[in-house]
Structure 1
Amino acid sequence: MAAMSGAESVRLDRWLWAARFFKTRRLAVDAIKGGKVDVDGVRAKPARAVRIGQRLVIHKGPQTFEVHVDGLSEQRGPAAQAQMLYTETPDSVRAREQQRESLRAASAAQPRPDHRPDRRDRQRLADFKRGGRH
């Protein structure tokens, strides 16, 4: 696929933002500085140039994305356009699916109350949390 912008490379923080991995560039910069993004197996800096064909590993919360850069863009566009900027590896997709299933199974095992707390229940809970009468 051809590049979305005329440049041969784009700053890593801009590309992550344009590809919609992060909601703001500031969040992208913080993730990069925190060591959550690798470019071709090497820890990167926010101003690192990203080129078509490079492999990125992005750790975002409990999820890990392994993607290949297919296009470049410095501007954030619609989600459909952002998905054209990269291809996620099958192993990455499979690992995230397994993680999603295990989280779903863990949440299903949690006990659920019979009903929502009413006003009296909420007051008792608040008193208990404050260390008051119970």
Structure 2
Amino acid sequence: MAGDEKLRIDKWLWQARFFKSRSLSAACVTGGHLRINGQRTVKASHGVGPGDVLTFSQGQVVRVIRVEALGTRRGPAPEAQALYFDLDPPQDKAPADPPPIARMEGNARPTKRDRRKLQQIRKTEID
């Protein structure tokens, strides 16, 4: 029976420290944003065990992980990292912030032209 061990997916995601609270992990699952072994699941009570591959978004990043073990508690980060293996390739850090727009001395608010430049910079970063 040791191979049939399962744990609720919302609880496992919380114990592995992917989400700050169990309700946030349950919201991710019930919102349809999680796949277990390629199959979408919408039940937070769905069981997950060692060997299962999970795909979900965390912020702007899509995470692909393999469950290695089931936890017994929500412990420190090194203990939580032992519960899974990250299948994502290492990603570069987020791009640096764009250089500030030069403004005249004493003028703190951006002009309409400055705002349009900022919007154009942000738009090209997203694409």
Give the TM-score, by structure 1 length: 0.68
Q: CA RMSD in A?
A: 2.7
Aligned residue in 1 for 2:59? 61
Identity %: 34
- Provide runs of 4+ in structure 1 moved above 3 Å: none
Hey, which of these two has a bigger chunk of helix by percent?
1
Give the TM-score, by structure 2 length: 0.72
Is 1:31 the counterpart of 2:28? The answer is: yes
Counterpart of 1:104 in 2: which secondary structure? coil
Q: How many residues align?
A: 106
Aligned residue in 1 for 2:69? 71
Contact 1:36 1:60 in 2 (8 A): no
Structure 2 counterpart of 1:54, one-letter code: D
Q: Deviations over 1:98-119 (max 9, x none)?
A: 4x3xx415x2xx231679xx9x
Aligned residue in 1 for 2:7? 10
Name which structure has the greater RCO, CA cutoff 8 Å, separation 6+.
Answer: 1
Structure 2 counterpart of 1:42, one-letter code: Q
Contact 1:55 1:68 in 2 (8 A): yes
Q: Deviations over 1:17-53 (max 9, x none)?
A: 0000000001001111112211011112200000110
- Structure 2 gaps, min length 5: 110-127
Aligned residue in 2 for 1:129? none
